[in-house]
Amino acid sequence: MSSRLAATRAIYRRWLRRYVPVAALILGASTVAGFVLGSVVPVGALPTPESGAPSPFPALTTVDLAANNLLAMLALALGAVSLGLVTAVGLVLNGLVIGAVVGIAVQGTDPLVVAALIVPHGVLEIPALLVASAVGLRFGWLTVRYIRGLEDRLVTRRDLREAGWLLAVSSLFIVVAAYIEANVTIALAEAVAGGALGNV
C-alpha cells in the first residue's frame, strides 16, 4: 500500500467515516421537515412575476453563487469554535430551506424540472457542505474531549493540515457547482420543461 493511499484512508477514518453520516442525518431530517412544511404552503398565496414579484429563477452569476455557498461552507466549518453547535444549526437551517423550496416547487412544477434545477450542481455542492460540516463536527468533538481531559492538545498540526486539505477540496467543489448552477442548470431545466421556466 502506497503512503499516499494510506494517508487518504487515515483522513477518511479520522474526518469522514463518522462525521459525514451524522451531518447527512441532520441535513436529511431537516430537509424532510422543510419539505413537509413547504408542501402545505398554498401556491396561490405566493407572489408571482405577474404580480410584480421578482422571478423565482433570478439570474445569478458563478461569483454570486460561489461566494454565497463558500460563506455557508465556512459557517458549517465554524463548529470548531462552538462545540459543533454552529454546524448543527447550519445544517438544520440549510435542510429546512432546501426542503421547503422543493416542497413549494413540486406543487406547481413537474418534479423532473425541479430535479433538473437541483441535481446537476447538488451532486457536488451537498457533498462539499457535508465534508465542511464533518470538519466542524470533528473539531467540536475534539474540543469536548480536550475539556474533559481526554486529549493532551486541543488540535495538532496534522489536524489543521488535514482540515485545510478537506476544506480546499470542498471549496473547489463549491466553485464548480456554482459554475454549473449559473451556466447549465436553467438551460437544462428549460430543456426538460420544453419551454421557458416562467411558463411552466
> What is the tens place of the pLDDT at every residue in 78-114?
877 788 899 999 999 999 999 999 998 888 888 999 9
Residue pLDDT, tens place only, 144-174 = 999 999 888 888 999 999 999 999 999 999 9
Q: Give the C-alpha distances (Å, rounded to integers) separating 117 from 37, 58, 184, 195.
A: 20, 12, 9, 14
What is the pLDDT, as a whole number, of residue 200? 45
- In whole angstroms, give the CA distance from residue 77 to residue 74: 5
Residue pLDDT, tens place only, 8-66 = 899 999 999 999 999 999 999 999 999 999 888 776 655 554 545 455 555 678 999 99
What is the pLDDT, as a whole number, of residue 171? 97
In this prediction, residue 139 has a pLDDT band, given cuts at 50, 70 and 90, of very high
> How many degrees, rounded to 5, is the angle at CA 23 between CA 180 and CA 74?
60
Q: Give the C-alpha distances (Å, rounded to integers) separating 145 from 117, 140, 163.
A: 42, 9, 18
Number of domains into which the chain is organized: 1
- Cβ 30 vs Cβ 92: under 8 Å: yes
- In whole angstroms, give the CA distance from residue 143 to residue 137: 10
One-letter amino acid at 110 equals D
Burial pattern 107-139, b for ≥16 Cβ within 10 A else e, equals eebeeebbebbbebbbebbbbbbbbbbbbbbbb
More confident position, 13 or 7: 13
Please say whether the dihedral angle defined by the alpha carbons of residues 74, 170, 117 and 198, taken in this order, is positive or negative. Answer: positive
Residue 66 belongs to domain spanning: 3-199
User: What does the DSSP assignment read for 148-198?
Assistant: TT--SSS--HHHHHHHHHHHHHHHHHHHHHHHHIIIIIHHHHHHHHTS-GG
Which runs of E-coded beta strand occur in 33-185? none
What is the pLDDT, as a whole number, of residue 126? 96
In this prediction, residue 198 has a pLDDT band, given cuts at 50, 70 and 90, of low
What is the pLDDT, as a whole number, of residue 19? 96
- In whole angstroms, give the CA distance from residue 91 to residue 25: 9
